[in-house]
Amino acid sequence: MTTFIPQIEKLSSRIIRVLGCNPGMMTLQGTNTYVVGTGRKRILVDTGEDKKPEYISNLKKVLKDSGSTLQEILITHWHHDHTGGIVDVIRELQLDTDNVKVSKFPRNPILEEKIDDERIQYNYLKDGDVVKTEGATLKAVYTPGHTDDHMVLFLEEENAVLTGDCILGEGTTVFEDLFTYMQSLQKLMGFSPTILYPGHGPIVNEAMVKIQMYIDHRNMRERQIVDVLTKNDKPMESMEIVKIMYADVGEHLHMAANENVCHHLSKLVKENKIIQLKEGVVSKWNANL
Ligand SMILES: [Zn+2]
């Protein structure tokens, strides 16, 4: 069960969360977008999906009620549930794209990225870049793993981090690269934040406990995989491992779980803890006893 999140909520003197109105299996209650700052110009972090008129009218209301307009849009990563709304936001809020930048990190390796409307180009950030507005100083921190272009934003005034999909308010996240993902979690720890504003799910008030939980969770999954393979005398396919490890989880989540298990498997092979065997196109794994 997921926690109820209102469509609009003021979370602090400088942060208003506007829910993307795109609930779903992977997006939980929907994407959290954040209006950041205290002055007449604010920063929007992430834009939700396209064709969400309810989101656009909520965003308009927040800006109108606070007497502000958007200074800049920051995007945590390329996934559609964070970038899909860019064109709608720009069009519906009548933003002047010569002055309002849409910023993110480049893909790695660099990949040409197009926003649906070709008049809009991304402005690319570098690790450590600082974006300021009245009442808020955001430091862009490169945290790949969930995606190759992922960034989190360290909000100096609150010792808080806007975590995108690196850490979620509920459950755990998926990733493309486990090794860099674990490094990014360590990088987050380095900031010793007290609050996390995640890309999905409720605000996290015990930030360090949550980050440590994420690290422990991955380590636990890794031990489970080695354990399952050790107990089985025959080599196993990844989905067979998933069915044992995720027996208590709905089958509709097994595909996503399988992806994570495969990432663990390749990391474990690299570390020589397990062995990969190929039978034609099928890969199987065995414990390295
Ligand atoms: Zn997301």
Per-residue pLDDT, 204: 98
pLDDT above 70 coverage of the chain, percent: 99
Instruction: Please tell me the chain's helix, strand, coil percentages from 3-state DSSP, rounded to the nearest 5.
Output: 30, 25, 45
- CATH code (residue 166): 3.60.15.10
Question: Is there a single domain that holds both residue 29 and residue 97?
Answer: yes
Residue 220 sits at the vertex; the CA angle it makes with 219 and 223, to the nearest 5 degrees, is: 90
Question: Is there a single domain that holds both residue 229 and residue 200?
Answer: no
Question: Is there a single domain that holds both residue 156 and residue 281?
Answer: no
Res. 289: pLDDT tops 80: no
Within a domain: 1: no
Question: Is there a single domain that holds both residue 148 and residue 89?
Answer: yes
Within a domain: 37: yes
- Spatial distance between the Cα atoms of 168 and 187, rounded to a whole number of angstroms: 16
Confidence of residue 68 (pLDDT cuts 50, 70, 90): very high
What tokens were used for 147?
């995606």
Distance 149 CA to ligand 1 centre (A): 13
Res. 280: pLDDT tops 90: no
- CATH code (residue 249): 1.10.10.10
Mean pLDDT, to the nearest integer, of 250-266? 91
Distance 17 CA to ligand 1 centre (A): 15
Within a domain: 44: yes
Instruction: Count up the domains in the chain and report the number.
Output: 2
Domain termination residue (choose one: 173, 205, 237): 205
Q: What is the mean pLDDT of the chain?
A: 94
Distance 174 CA to ligand 1 centre (A): 10
Q: Which residues surround ligand 1, an ion (CB under 5 A)?
A: 81, 165, 199
Q: pLDDT digit string (tens) for 14-67?
A: 999 999 999 988 888 999 999 999 999 999 999 999 999 999 999 999 999 999
Question: Is there a single domain that holds both residue 44 and residue 179?
Answer: yes
Question: Is there a single domain that holds both residue 185 and residue 273?
Answer: no
Longest alpha-carbon distance in the chain: 67
| Domain around 235 | 217-287
pTM for the full model?
0.90
Distance 274 CA to ligand 1 centre (A): 32
Residue 271 sits at the vertex; the CA angle it makes with 256 and 184, to the nearest 5 degrees, is: 55
Q: pLDDT digit string (tens) for 167-189?
A: 999 988 888 888 899 999 999 99
Is the Cβ–Cβ distance between 81 and 31 less than 8 Å?
yes
Written as one string, the DSSP assignment of 110-158 is: ------SSTT--EEEP-TT-EEEETTEEEEEEE--SSSTT-EEEEEGGG
Is the Cβ–Cβ distance between 213 and 185 less than 8 Å?
no
Residues in the chain: 289
Within a domain: 2: no
Question: Is there a single domain that holds both residue 229 and residue 90?
Answer: no
AA letter at 127:
D
Question: Is there a single domain that holds both residue 90 and residue 26?
Answer: yes
Distance 210 CA to ligand 1 centre (A): 18
DSSP 3-state of 98: coil
Per-residue pLDDT, 128: 98
Distance 276 CA to ligand 1 centre (A): 32
Per-residue pLDDT, 1: 59
Cis peptide before 106 (omega within 30 of 0): no
